[in-house]
Each structure stands twice: as structure tokens, then as C-alpha cells.
Amino acid sequence: MLIPIPDLLDADGVAAIRALIDPAGWVDGNVTSGHQSALAKRNLQLPEESPAARQAGQMVLDALGRSPLFIAAALPLRIFPPLFNSYAGGQAFGVHVDNAVRIQAGTGLRVRSDLSITLFLEPPEAYEGGELTVETQFGVQQVKLPAGYAVLYPSSSLHRVEPVTAGRRVASFFWLQSMIRDDGARQMLFDLDRSVQGVAAQLGQDHAEVIRLTGVYHNLLRCWADV
């Protein structure tokens, strides 16, 4: 499941985050890498404890909470606080799989990484390269979205960031633990939710078929959810 989330942030939201993070103190991106990732990762990152990162991260979380598409697709249980990275001058992140469990430094917060999120914070025309390349069951997909757009994809997938050969790629990245551990079950619930919304748009929310399908959705969620 690879799902774009259009306009998670509007232009003002992107500008507000960039005003916070651009002048902050960037460090080597391997501060949050596991052993495998450290061998492939070349970028800059804001430290987790950076006040700018925390304030900007809260803005991202607030935007996620306002996105029905994100809620429906992710069914989030826990979200690791958003982080921020930057690629320029040929920097890249080679093929890797995200760590299965992320632990927030200093808090003990543990998040099983079911889904990964990249939120683009730089217009695609402002840099060359930098595509997020994800190996899915349907083949290799490359993602390079407008500033303010996000993409949601399984953390278990092989993925990489292509070298940035001109300009600068700035993004937020983080992970979440879904109420639905299994990616296939989560995809079915998402498809069912979209179908229910489509039928409701045609027949009305109070139609008997809409009510019946909504019940099916919630009964499946009740069977599968880990809360």
C-alpha cells in the first residue's frame, strides 16, 4: 500500500515549518540510523531534541489529525514524533528497510513501525533527483510530490532516496504503529471505507445499504484492531 496524501499542508503551513527548521542546527543524518541504514545514508537531519524540530513536528501532527484520508489509510495507534532531513550535493539514502521498532530518545516511547511517512517540504522543480523509490508488490514506484504532499508506505518495504544532484530536498519523515498490524487487512479496510463513502455520496448516509456496509467495516475493525 502506497498512498499519496495531497495537500496535507498548504503553502502557509509549509512556509511556517521551513521558517522554523531552515535556520536550525542540522547534523549528520546517521544520528537515528540503525546499523544497516548507517552504511547507506548520507544526508543532514535535525536532532530529535531540537526545539525547532519539536515545534515543527507538532505542526505536522496537527495536520495529520485534520486529514480524513490519513486516518482512513493508516488507522494510527501511535506516531513517532516527526523528524526532518535534507539532501543536497549528491547525498542519498541507499536501499534499506526501516527498523521494526523505533524508540524515542529520553522518553522510552516505543513504536512498531508498520507505516512510514515522507512529507515533502520543497517544490519538486527546485531540486534534481531525490525521488523516494519504493519496491512494492506491484513493482518499483518512484515518488516526488509537491511541497505539502505526503506519501504513506509500508515500513517493511525496501526503499531508498535517489541522489540529489542539484538543489536541496527537504522533508519530514517518521513512522507509525497502526491499529491494524497486517498490511493486507489494513488495505481491505481502507478500500471498504472508500467504497462506503462512495455509496453514501450516491444514496445518502441514512440509506439502509450504507448503514449495513458501515456496520461491516466496524465489525471487521473490531475483530482486527489492536488498541
pLDDT tens digits along 75-106: 999 999 999 999 999 999 999 999 999 998 88
Q: Which residues pair with 5 in a beta bridge?
A: 150
Answer yes or no: is 98 a known binding residue.
Answer: yes
pLDDT tens digits along 34-81: 555 556 789 999 999 999 999 999 999 999 999 999 999 999 999 999
92 plus 190 within the same structural domain: no
Answer yes or no: is 218 a known binding residue.
Answer: no
> In the structure, what pLDDT confidence band is assigned to residue 125 with cuts at 50, 70 and 90?
very high
195 plus 143 within the same structural domain: no
125 plus 192 within the same structural domain: no
pLDDT for the residue numbered 35: 53
Which residue range forms the structural domain that includes residue 159?
3-178
Q: Can you list the positions of beta strands (E) in 32-144?
A: 44-45, 76-79, 83-88, 93-96, 101-103, 110-112, 115-120, 128-129, 132-136, 139-143
- What's the pTM? 0.93
24 plus 62 within the same structural domain: yes
39 plus 137 within the same structural domain: yes
Rounded to 5 degrees, φ, ψ at 55 are: -70, -45
164 plus 188 within the same structural domain: no
Q: Which residues pair with 135 in a beta bridge?
A: 140
46 plus 129 within the same structural domain: yes
120 plus 216 within the same structural domain: no
30 plus 131 within the same structural domain: yes
Answer yes or no: is 207 a known binding residue.
Answer: no
Percentage of residues in the chain having pLDDT higher than 70? 96
Read off the CATH number of the domain in which 113 is found: 2.60.120.620
Pick from 196, 148, 176: nearest CA to 10? 148
173 plus 194 within the same structural domain: no
Answer yes or no: is 169 a known binding residue.
Answer: yes
Alpha helices for the chain (secondary structure H): 11-21, 35-38, 51-65, 68-74, 183-203, 208-224
124 plus 219 within the same structural domain: no
Read off the CATH number of the domain in which 212 is found: 4.10.860
> In the structure, what pLDDT confidence band is assigned to residue 219 with cuts at 50, 70 and 90?
very high
Number of domains making up the chain? 2
90 plus 151 within the same structural domain: yes
pLDDT for the residue numbered 1: 80
